[in-house]
Each structure stands twice: as C-alpha cells, then as structure tokens.
C-alpha cells in the first residue's frame, strides 16, 4: 500500500490452521532476473483483515470496512475493480492455489481457509524479494522487520520516520529544551543502527518548504509553541520543526527518503510535486546526502529530471507500479526516459497485505522485461546493457546506497 500518512486500515481476526494447497498453476517465472531489494515498504499485518476490510488495503481512500470498522463512507463499489485489484487476482491467486483472475469471493475464501500465517509466508516468498528496507513509523499490529525477514526468508533493515521520532520525544518532553535534546539524541542514535531516514513533510505542510536550515532561536520558539498547543498524541506539522528534522537527517549523511506524489486524502496532491523541492535539493547538494524521492506519480517525469541534474537525488517507483497495474510498463518507460539508470530504485511501498509485495515485484519484473526486450529487439539496447540496467534498478544501486 502507499506510503500514506495514516493508513487507517483496521484488522480483524481471520486466522485458521494452515491447510494443504491443491494442485495450482504456478506464477510466471523470470529465470534470469536479478534478486530484488525492496528499498521502501512497511510491515505486514499479524492477523489478516476480515473479508470486509481487505478491500481497504487496495485503495488510498478513507473508506469504511463494514463490520470491521474504519473511517469515512462505505464505498458503493468494489476496490477489486481497480488496476491494483485486478493485479492481486492476476499475480497472487496462483500462489494460493487458485487460477489467475478467479472471482474475488473465491480469492478471499481461499485466503481465510489458509490462515494469515500461511498466506503471508506463501506470498512473501513467491515475491522473490531478498531484502527489505522497512519504514517503521506506521502504527498498528504489524510484523517487525525481523519477523518480516523470517516470514520471507530474506533480510530486513529499518528506516526511521522522522516525524514519528519527534512525536515520541514530545510525548515525554517537559519543555522545548528537553524535546529538542531528545530529538537530537534520537536521530544520532538512529543513525548508528538504521539504514536511513524517511520524512512525510509532504503530508504535514507540503513540499514547498523554505530551503535553508532554521536558526536555533526559531527552532526553540516553534518547539515551545507546538508543545504548548499539541493535544495528546498530536501530529507534528510545524514547518519550522519539519525543516529542522530534515536538516538534522541530512547532516547524518544517511539516505533521506521523501514522500512525493500520490497518497491518501491527508495530503494535497498539488503540494507534493517533487519539483517543489528544487531549492532544498540545491541547498543540500554540498552535503552529498542521498535524497530518495518516493513514489513520484503522477509527477514522475519531474522526479526523473531532478535525478538527472542533481547527483545526490534518486527516484523510486514504489506504489506507482502497483496502482497502475496493466499500465505499469508505460509508467516505468516514462521514468526511464530521463532518470539515470543507476539512480532509479525498486520498491513496493507494501503495507498490511503480503499481496502488495508480490504484486509490486511481479509488475516490476513484467514491465522491465517487456520494455528491455522490445528495446533489445529493435537494436536500441544491447542485451548486456539491458541486463546491467535491470540489475541496478532491481537492487544493485540500493545495496550500494544503503551500505548493504
């Protein structure tokens, strides 16, 4: 699911003991495809969603989940009737012992029959992702990075969300001085163990932030004001404190992931165009800290431009390919127009459902294979170049960038 700000999707128990799978069609294989490194994702639910909740994970909308609860109005249509919904039935059904494109009712029945643990293991391992970089800033009963690694038979590492770090510090701080000291120490400690940082400033105040780091007196005044006005558990949205967090992360030198583009209704999409970050990108260039623009759609060509002209900027397509489904190859082709090939990163942005890891992986493999095969057949790329570019995007660049 998207790197959305709240992900207000509830869960409801549906575990049953695993049962053996019938003879099933296998997933299409890509025998020469390199291992995948999912450079941006979230956790998987410990307990599977009830049948009325499942569709909530196929959309960024705030929708109710019938008897499972939820927010917003109950949708008068099915979110299975989307590119992502079709992709789930196409790519995930075979892993559960069903025919591709089976009816949604049959898919959900089979899911409940197998139980959450078995479904999670099957889908994660069928996805063929060897490593995960997990944004641990979302709440909910989710598998930890270690548990995700065990279920997938891969490896997993943490990405620390800056806003969540600051909000935890605010929960215990007595005053602005203590809050800022706790934030500073939290970032310093996270930099010792995590592989990078993540910011959802796009949700909190938009990407058109002042580019320069704020002065100490302004940061202190903003912290004092926010703490005095903050309700219990309130979210950080002060633009000065957001800039302070961004620059604190930049100074560590670790990759900084930035949500851009498509997400849930908590954001204003027109405030999430990565081109709004241009002045911030310029200001951070002397530090050389990698800035990773997440998702980007529908502004992915602008993200490709930033990656092309600023050496420390990278682009990612997590969320985008899953939600564009049968058109994923077209969007990936547009990203490959201008983005330097060694600066484009694979991710799924999966959240909650293990289906989203498998869908993201299979759509990328299918789209990349389709594009490069066409270009090689026309003589525009050599086969060895196609293999090299595919390996970089699939995980080679991310392994270098995050020091894996």
Each domain of the chain, given as residue ranges in start order, spans: 37-401
CA neighbor of 234 nearest in space, from 175, 182, 140, 166: 166
DSSP state of 395: I
What interhelical angle do 176-193 and 216-229 show, nearest 10?
110
pTM assigned to the model: 0.90
Q: What is the DSSP string of 50-96?
A: PHHHHGGGG-SS--B-GGG-BSSPPPSS-TTSSHHHHHHHHHTGGGG
> What pLDDT shows up at residue 48?
84
CATH class assigned to 37-401: alpha beta
Residues (pLDDT < 50) of the chain are 1-4, 6-23, 64-72
Say if residues 348 and 310 touch (Cβ distance below 8 Å). no
What are the tens digits of pLDDT across the range 122-138?
A: 999 999 999 999 999 99
What pLDDT, on the 0 to 100 scale, is given for residue 207? Answer: 98
């Amino acid at each position: 699911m998207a790197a959305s700000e709240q992900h207000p999707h509830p869960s409801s128990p549906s575990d049953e003991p695993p049962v053996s799978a019938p003879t099933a069609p296998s997933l299409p294989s890509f025998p020469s495809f390199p291992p995948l490194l999912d450079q941006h994702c979230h956790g998987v639910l410990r307990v599977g969603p009830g049948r009325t909740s499942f569709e909530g994970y196929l959309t960024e909308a705030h929708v109710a989940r019938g008897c499972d609860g939820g927010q917003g109005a109950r949708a008068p249509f099915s979110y299975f009737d989307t590119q992502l919904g079709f992709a789930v039935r196409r790519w995930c059904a075979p892993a559960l012992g069903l025919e591709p494109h089976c009816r949604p009712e049959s898919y959900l029945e089979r899911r409940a029959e197998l139980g959450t643990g078995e479904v999670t293991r099957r889908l994660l391992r069928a996805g063929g992702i060897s490593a995960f970089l997990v944004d641990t800033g979302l709440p909910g009963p989710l598998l930890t990075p270690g548990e995700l690694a065990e279920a997938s038979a891969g490896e997993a590492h943490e990405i620390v969300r800056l806003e969540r770090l600051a909000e935890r510090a605010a929960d215990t701080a007595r005053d602005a001085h203590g809050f800022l000291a706790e934030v500073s120490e939290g970032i310093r400690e996270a930099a010792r163990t995590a592989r990078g940082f993540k910011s959802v400033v796009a949700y909190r105040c938009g990407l058109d932030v002042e580019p320069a780091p704020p002065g100490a007196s302004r940061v202190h005044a903003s912290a004092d004001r926010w703490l005095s006005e903050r309700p219990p558990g309130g979210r950080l949205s002060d633009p000065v404190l957001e800039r302070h967090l961004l620059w604190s992360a930049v100074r560590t030198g670790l990759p900084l992931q930035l949500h851009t583009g498509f997400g849930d209704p908590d954001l204003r999409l027109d405030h999430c165009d990565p081109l709004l970050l241009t002045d911030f990108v310029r200001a951070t260039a002397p530090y050389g800290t990698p800035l990773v623009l997440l998702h980007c759609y529908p502004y992915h060509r602008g993200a490709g431009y930033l990656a092309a002209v600023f050496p420390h900027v990278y682009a990612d397509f997590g969320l985008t390919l899953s939600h564009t489904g049968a058109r994923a190859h077209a969007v990936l082709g547009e990203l490959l127009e201008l983005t330097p090939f060694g600066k484009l990163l694979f991710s799924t942005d999966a959240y909650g459902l293990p289906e989203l890891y498998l869908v993201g992986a299979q759509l990328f493999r299918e789209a990349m294979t389709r594009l490069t095969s066409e270009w090689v057949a026309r003589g525009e790329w050599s086969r060895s170049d196609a293999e090299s570019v595919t390996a970089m995007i699939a995980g080679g660049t991310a392994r270098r960038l995050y020091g894996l």
